[in-house]
Amino acid sequence: MKFIGIIPARYASTRFPGKPLADLAGKPMIQHVYEKVVDVLDDAYVATDDERIFNVVIAFGGKAVMTSSSHQSGTDRCYEAYLKIGQTYDVIVNVQGDEPFILPEQLETLKRCFDSSATDIATLVIPFSGNHSFEDLNNPNSPKVVLNKQLQAMYFSRSVIPYLRNYPKEEWLKMHTFYKHIGLYAYRPQVLAEITRLPQSSLELAESLEQLRWLENGYVIQTGITTQETIGIDTPEDLEKAISFYNQNKKSDDR
């Protein structure tokens, strides 16, 4: 199977304007992401609506495609980019442009989800561990997901699911494996074409989670389990933490 990575990257972020071009250890953030993706997948493109990002990607030797500034989601931007690229791939992998620490094994896990012909869409989940508190589990900014026996997603929610009726909340993490959703997606091209045409659904509007639209319309979302957190960068403060994380890991690698 042939896999293409498409990396949506906007300049006009409310909390961190110009985020894809922020310097991380001497490289723009978008370059870190691109290099991780192109090392594992068959091809990679940055999809952007800003010429500054486009020009930086071309300058470091990457591939980029200009897309509309009117897209409401990275999913829509991915599909426009795929059409403009004009080549055929079996799977399109949507990697956020603010994930410079994505691991090769996470991309490989996502790829393996398509070993099953039943998979329409794939994503990653990570188990909450004993080091987490109930407050971590209850955080609405960390969407949870319940899985069936085939590790296919049954439902995503900002609430804690399932509810453990017979135990105090302080014991929930000891009594059940809860899964946190990691927003990395892959789609078969025909499925991506279809889901970008779907109207917003009632569950999506209620939870503000676009993947619920896909479930409501009957698409199979296969999950892969990872044990490593991704480190997204949403604010300048997050970037400072990311620089510290990068430097610590580089010291470990140099030993």
- Any domain includes 10: yes
Gyration radius of the chain's alpha carbons: 18
Instruction: Quote the CA–CA distance of 88 and 111 in Å, as a whole number.
Output: 17
Amino acid 51: pLDDT:
96
| pLDDT of 167 strictly over 70 | yes
Segments of the chain assigned E as strands:
3-9, 23-24, 27-28, 43-48, 64-66, 91-94, 121-127, 144-147, 153-157, 179-187, 221-225
Q: Which domain holds residue 54?
A: 1-102
Q: Are residues 155 and 86 in the same domain?
A: no
Instruction: Quote the CA–CA distance of 221 and 215 in Å, as a whole number.
Output: 7
Instruction: Quote the CA–CA distance of 89 and 201 in Å, as a whole number.
Output: 28
Q: Are residues 68 and 95 in the same domain?
A: yes
- Any domain includes 235: no
Residue 27: both structure tokens together: 């490289």
| pLDDT of 251 strictly over 60 | no
Return the minimum-mean-pLDDT range out of 6-20, 127-141, 169-183: 6-20
% of the chain exceeding 90 in pLDDT: 80
Last residue of some domain: 67, 102, 137?
102
Instruction: Quote the CA–CA distance of 55 and 78 in Å, as a whole number.
Output: 19
Does an H or E element contain 36, and which?
Answer: helix 29-40
* Mean pLDDT of the region 119-125: 98
Instruction: Quote the CA–CA distance of 241 and 14 in Å, as a whole number.
Output: 19
| pLDDT of 255 strictly over 70 | no
- Any domain includes 73: yes
Counting Cβ atoms within 10 Å, is residue 57 exposed (0-12), middle (13-18) or buried (19+)? Answer: buried
Q: What's the chain's average pLDDT?
A: 93
% of the chain exceeding 70 in pLDDT: 98
Q: Are residues 96 and 113 in the same domain?
A: no
- Any domain includes 154: yes
Q: Are residues 116 and 216 in the same domain?
A: yes
Angle at 230 between CA 224 and CA 232, to 5 degrees: 135
Q: Are residues 83 and 43 in the same domain?
A: yes
Amino acid 1: pLDDT:
96
* Mean pLDDT of the region 117-136: 95
Q: Are residues 62 and 110 in the same domain?
A: no
Q: Are 235 and 135 in contact (CB under 8 A)?
A: no
- Any domain includes 57: yes
Residue 208 sits in a domain of what CATH number?
A: 3.90.550.10
Amino acid 50: pLDDT:
94
Q: What is the pLDDT of residues 14-27, one digit of tens each?
A: 778 899 999 998 99
Query: For the residues of 189-235, what is the DSSP string, one character each?
Result: HHHHHHHTTSPPPHHHHHHT-THHHHHHTT--EEEEE-SS------S
Residue 167 is given by DSSP the state S
Last residue of some domain: 85, 102, 119?
102
In this prediction, residue 253 has a pLDDT band, given cuts at 50, 70 and 90, of low
| pLDDT of 160 strictly over 80 | yes
Amino acid 243: pLDDT:
84
Q: Are residues 75 and 111 in the same domain?
A: no
Q: Are 185 and 106 in contact (CB under 8 A)?
A: no
Amino acid 208: pLDDT:
95
- Any domain includes 125: yes
* Mean pLDDT of the region 162-179: 96
Counting Cβ atoms within 10 Å, is residue 151 exposed (0-12), middle (13-18) or buried (19+)? Answer: middle
Residue 88: both structure tokens together: 């055929």
Look at the alpha carbons of 208, 51, 36, 221 in this order and tell me if their dihedral is positive or negative: positive
Q: Are residues 109 and 81 in the same domain?
A: no
Last residue of some domain: 102, 121, 150?
102
Q: Are residues 93 and 121 in the same domain?
A: no
Q: Are residues 50 and 77 in the same domain?
A: yes
Q: Are residues 163 and 50 in the same domain?
A: no
- Any domain includes 3: yes
- Any domain includes 243: no
Q: Are residues 95 and 111 in the same domain?
A: no
Q: What is the pLDDT of residues 14-72, one digit of tens each?
A: 778 899 999 998 999 999 999 999 999 999 999 999 999 999 999 999 999 999 988 88
**Number of domains composing the chain:** 2
| pLDDT of 254 strictly over 80 | no
* Mean pLDDT of the region 176-204: 96
Amino acid 239: pLDDT:
85
